């Protein structure tokens, strides 16, 4: 099960979440948010969730920045590759574990991929099949790029959230990671194309 999916920026400086969605819920109290024990309200829950996702995004940004520095690639070089041949754009990919309480109440695993100024993350239950999660994330990224050009234009994630939601609905329904062979993927692609293009 996937707890959250998000798209965020990678450039040094403030990490900005461009799109996020959570599936399911965590049992939270205000005590876990640094307040006295009591039931947490809707607005307080949103604030806690936002802070949790911000922590994950900053950690991915940090890991990506380190890997970019080690590889001696620059953002400008990546954008140049993107403008000439987006299929050869190098992606950094990674997986890391989040301990219980830091920042989620239970242990989670983050599967991420990023390039240029755009990262994509799945926050998964600790027992989720990571290889399958990576496959699903790659499929989602491929379709986000095809229909939104989100890597070259990350702000498309802000202006066209309905298209992202449609893609997630096909390949990550209600946060469930499905085993998809080529035939299933092709059927999902046809359904999605019908919705996104109106054909």
pLDDT tens for each residue of 139-172: 999 999 988 888 888 888 999 999 999 899 888 9
What pTM was computed for the model?
A: 0.85
pLDDT for position 172: 93
Question: Do the Cβ atoms of 53 and 46 come closer than 8 Å?
Answer: no
Which residues on neighbouring strands pair with residue 95, listed in sequence order?
111
- Sorting pLDDT into bands at 50, 70 and 90, what band is 77? confident
pLDDT tens for each residue of 109-138: 999 999 888 999 999 999 999 999 999 999
Domains parsed from the chain with CATH numbers: 2-197 (3.30.450.60)
Which of these, 59, 87, 90, 58, lies nearest to 73 by C-alpha position?
A: 90
Within 10 A of 117 (CB to CB), how many other CB atoms are there? 17
pLDDT for position 86: 63
What DSSP assignment string belongs to the chain?
-EEEEEEE--SSSS--EEEEEE-S----BTTTTTS-SSBPPHHHHHHHHHHHHHHHHHHHHHHHHHHHHHHT--HHHHHHHHHH-GGGPPPEEEEEEE-TTSSSSS-EEEEEEEETTEEEEEEEETTS-HHHHHHHHHHHHHHHHHHH-TTT-TTHHHH-HHHHHHHHHHHSGGGPPPP--HHHHHHHHHHHHHHHH--
Maximum mean pLDDT: which of 27-41, 66-80, 118-132? 118-132
């Amino acid at each position: 099960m996937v707890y959250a999916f998000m798209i965020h920026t990678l450039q040094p400086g403030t990490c900005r979440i461009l799109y996020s969605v959570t599936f399911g819920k965590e049992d939270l109290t205000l005590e876990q948010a640094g307040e006295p024990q009591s039931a947490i309200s809707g607005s307080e829950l949103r604030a806690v969730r936002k802070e949790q996702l911000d922590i994950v995004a900053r950690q991915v940004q940090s890991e990506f920045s380190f890997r970019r520095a080690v590889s001696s690639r620059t953002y400008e070089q990546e954008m140049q590759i993107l403008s000439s041949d987006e299929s050869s754009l190098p992606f950094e990919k990674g997986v890391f574990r989040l301990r219980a309480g830091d920042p989620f109440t239970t242990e989670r695993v983050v599967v991420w991929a990023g390039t240029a100024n755009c990262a994509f993350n799945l926050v998964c239950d600790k027992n989720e099949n990571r290889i399958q999660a990576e496959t699903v994330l790659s499929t989602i990224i491929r379709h986000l790029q095809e229909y939104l050009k989100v890597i070259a234009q990350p702000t498309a994630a802000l202006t066209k959230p309905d298209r992202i939601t449609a893609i997630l609905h096909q390949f990550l329904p209600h946060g469930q990671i499905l085993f998809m062979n080529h035939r299933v993927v092709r059927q999902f692609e046809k359904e999605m194309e019908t919705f996104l293009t109106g054909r």
